[in-house]
Structure 1
Amino acid sequence: MNLQATIISWATPVFFALIGLELLVGKLRGRRVYHSSDAINSLGLGVISQVVAVFSKVLTLGIYAWCVEHLAIFSLSPGSAWVWITGLLFYDLCYYWLHRAGHEVNILWAAHVVHHQSEDYNLSTALRQTGSGVLLGWLFYLPMAIAGYPLEVFAVVALIDLLYQFWVHTELVGRLGWFDRVFCSPSNHRAHHAVNDKYLDRNYGGVLIIWDRLFGTFVEEDDNDPPIYGTRAPLRSWNPLWANVEVYWAAWKDAWHARRWRDKLLVWIKPPGWRPADVAERFPKPDFDIHRQRYQPSLSRGLVIYSLVQFALLLVMAVQFLDLAKHLPAVSLAAYAAFLVLSLTALGVLTEGRRSGVVMELLRLLVTAAIPLFTGGWFGMERLGTGIVAVLVALPAVSAIALGWLAVHTPAQADPGKAIPG
């Protein structure tokens, strides 16, 4: 089903228009709500999640459709308004429990953590999504299939629930009175993203916050204890691949080092942060420091502009990829997906201020130029005109020259992992 990919493609300009509005309002209020590298990382992770979804939806929607056909208790008609209304409520309830489990079970946190890694809280954070949530997340929506909600109802209400949550990721909208008591709102969701003790693991609702009030997980934002964002084990990287695997890798290492077989299993199903006593003793980790400096390796203005321009070009390619998903052969689609993921990874390492990032980015540009030069086309577009091919080759070539100049004239950063105050 390509409906979600199509709507996401259409919604992308709206997302970026609202991000631009948020930037403008923040500037008028004298507040810095964005950091370029953080925003690129968040948006890049959103792109990767959509790339993965192109392939995973066939599996997850297929499982849902099979369950509706073979396990449904009732036969619900998509022609009934009450089916759509109750379907949205049912989905939001299932989402609450998936979201809550994502904070209480380590293997589910390993997927969900991506959404919480940013130390900013803005509309780009809303688009920062996991690429591995498909592995287990679908299990939480099977009650809808067993109840008999048709696949088309499930797909549409899932999209409504997802799109609703975009606008609540901002610091520029304050309290909303009665609305905050019923719905997920910017104030409620700011508390959810905070690492402060009083806010930790609260406010899981997607559209409605009444689930949290009902199940005892609601907390109100406190002006005397402003939210501090991120995770208690900070990512400290702009590499989107590492962002997706960091918790899986940490859990795997703890499971490997654990002496007891029971602990090897518990590592995955205990709450995030739990470690076997013998592992914690032999491989201690630093204590959480809420006053830590934010991760923000310094970049020259030239490299910031370069990164933003290259990300904009990659974003155009990603939109094209989502459109091609309707008809491009699987092998070509997989190749394009790999190109986009590796390109975003190279750009992420570059924004960490690493020399290795320059090398990776130059290799990416070489591949980007080689594809049209040797094939005469691009992914999904064969036998392009000579002029278009020339432009497609010239863009990465000029970019490589600009990057080389910036690399030569930018002092090497001694410790790209060292944070500076935000």
Structure 2
Amino acid sequence: MNTQEVIIGWATPAFFALIALELLVAKWRGRRVYHASDAVSSLSLGVISQIVAVFAKLLTLGIYAWCAGHLALYTLPADRWWVWASGLLLYDFLYYWLHRAGHEVNILWAAHVVHHQSEDYNLSTALRQTGSGVLLGWLFYLPMALLGYPLEVFAVVALIDLLYQFWVHTELVGRLGWFDRVFCSPSNHRAHHAVNERYLDRNYGGILIVWDRLFGSFVEEDDADPPVYGTRAPLRSWNPLWANAEVYWATLKDAWHARRWRDKLLVWIKPPGWRPADVAERFPKPAFDMARARYAPPLPRGLTAYGIAQFALLLLMGVWFLDMAKRMPASSLLAYAAFLLFSLTALGVLLEGRRAGTWLEGARLAVTALAAVITGGWFGAASAPPALAPAIVALCLGSAAALATIRLRTRQPA
């Protein structure tokens, strides 16, 4: 097990322990900072980002390793503290520019937008990560490879930078005095996630907020103007695949409708929200409304409880997927990934309260039972106990009965 895997192994249970603590503290203070469907949506996107990462390592780490091995100007030793310290500092500096570009270049925003779609701001939001950021994000870190930072150093400092940012996604930690002036903090990052005019596109720092102070992108949180979270083009869906595709699809449509070839290109590299004049005239969009109602389709309590329980099971499957990724044949790994993507999508549509969600969930339960029967247990479980497959089939049948009962007792809109 490498250093990165050790860190992830310790961090994962800590994340959920801190989420539970945040829930308890919020309840004690009489505040509601979580909404069940929103949290499930955020965590589902986190699971999908990790699934994608399993297949994307060849692109992200492979390219870095090749550049460090063939194009590096120096060969830095991995056993010197200053290499690790300077590597973390340089990574955080490059992250600032990637993050800033993610708000200023539409094709990069199409990936980063996933992290901003939630209208809540809590620790589950920190785990709401993109599945497509690997496509272009690696370009910003090539300077580290060219300077000769070893792959192990790059991988670990990248993980440290990402893990640091988990705790700043909370409304329950107030101002921290001098700390807010040097480091990314909850107060600074709340401003970053806000759609209020004064906060828009500010505070990009990952660990250090001094980058924002140096390059003119810092803004202080103002109690007189409380942050409103989300995006200026609200997602209004719990479907994780649509969350990842939303901006790409909107941009593709604008590029298709644009009359000038120049505009067909510019729509991808201009700032988010920019549209060719002819497209904006023919296909107008409603103006942003700060007073908009949050997206919260009404659900019966039974269906909410069902969704949470099913997500917990899918989360365990996701953890099993990540654990088996190195030992499972490529065909089985791809099949398992497809199953998880379909399952999380079906659950998201179900939590939107639509009838289509019921049919998708029924299909998911049928596929789950069928997979257990075909594999004789589960994906990658070569020596599964004989009772595993019947137990999974029984669980699917029980879940289907519970879902049918909930639907019979309630009437949901189409």
Mapping for residues 256-335 of structure 1, pairs under 5 Å? 256-335=256-335
Range moving further from structure 2, 6-15 or 146-155: 6-15
Alignment check: 8 A CA contact 2:168 2:184 kept:
yes
Unaligned runs of 5+ in 1: 415-422
Q: Following TM superposition, by how much is the alpha carbon of 1:13 offset from its aligned partner in structure 2, in angstroms?
A: 1.4
Distance in 2, matches of 1:3 and 1:51, equals 20
- 2:219 aligned counterpart, secondary structure: coil
Deviations along 1:218-239, one digit per CA (max 9) or x if unpaired, are 0000000000000000000000
Deviations along 1:32-65, one digit per CA (max 9) or x if unpaired, are 0000000000000000000000000122101001
Alignment check: 8 A CA contact 2:168 2:186 kept:
yes
Range moving further from structure 2, 164-173 or 55-64: 55-64
Distance in 2, matches of 1:48 and 1:8, equals 16
Distance in 1, matches of 2:238 and 2:5, equals 25
What's the TM-score, normalizing by structure 1? 0.96
Q: Following TM superposition, by how much is the alpha carbon of 1:388 offset from its aligned partner in structure 2, in angstroms?
A: 2.2
Provide the residue aligned with 1:420 in structure 2: none
Deviations along 1:94-153, one digit per CA (max 9) or x if unpaired, are 000000000000000000000000000000000000000000000000001011111000
Distance in 2, matches of 1:3 and 1:36, equals 34
Distance in 2, matches of 1:191 and 1:364, equals 39
Unaligned runs of 5+ in 2: none
RMSD of Structure 2 on Structure 1 (CA): 1.1
Alignment check: 8 A CA contact 1:376 1:384 kept:
yes
Provide the residue aligned with 2:232 in structure 1: 232
Aligned residues: 414
Deviations along 1:131-177, one digit per CA (max 9) or x if unpaired, are 00000000000001011111000000000000000000000000000
- 1:386 aligned counterpart, secondary structure: coil
Alignment check: 8 A CA contact 1:6 1:322 kept:
no
Deviations along 1:68-104, one digit per CA (max 9) or x if unpaired, are 1111111100111000000000000000000000000
Distance 1:9 1:362, change over 3 A: farther
Q: Following TM superposition, by how much is the alpha carbon of 1:386 offset from its aligned partner in structure 2, in angstroms?
A: 2.7
Mapping for residues 85-124 of structure 1, pairs under 5 Å? 85-124=85-124
Provide the residue aligned with 1:222 in structure 2: 222
Distance in 2, matches of 1:388 and 1:106, equals 47
Alignment check: 8 A CA contact 1:39 1:125 kept:
yes
Distance in 2, matches of 1:354 and 1:344, equals 15
Provide the residue aligned with 1:419 in structure 2: none
- 2:387 aligned counterpart, secondary structure: helix
Percent identity of paired positions between Structure 1 and Structure 2: 75
Distance in 2, matches of 1:172 and 1:388, equals 42
Distance in 2, matches of 1:336 and 1:360, equals 17
Provide the residue aligned with 2:347 in structure 1: 347
Deviations along 1:166-225, one digit per CA (max 9) or x if unpaired, are 000000000000000000000000000000000000000000000000000000000000
Distance in 2, matches of 1:333 and 1:176, equals 45
Q: Following TM superposition, by how much is the alpha carbon of 1:413 offset from its aligned partner in structure 2, in angstroms?
A: 2.3
Alignment check: 8 A CA contact 1:194 1:200 kept:
yes
What's the TM-score, normalizing by structure 2? 0.98
> What amino acid does structure 2 have at the position aligned with 1:24?
L
Provide the residue aligned with 1:380 in structure 2: 380
Alignment check: 8 A CA contact 2:377 2:386 kept:
no
Provide the residue aligned with 1:418 in structure 2: none
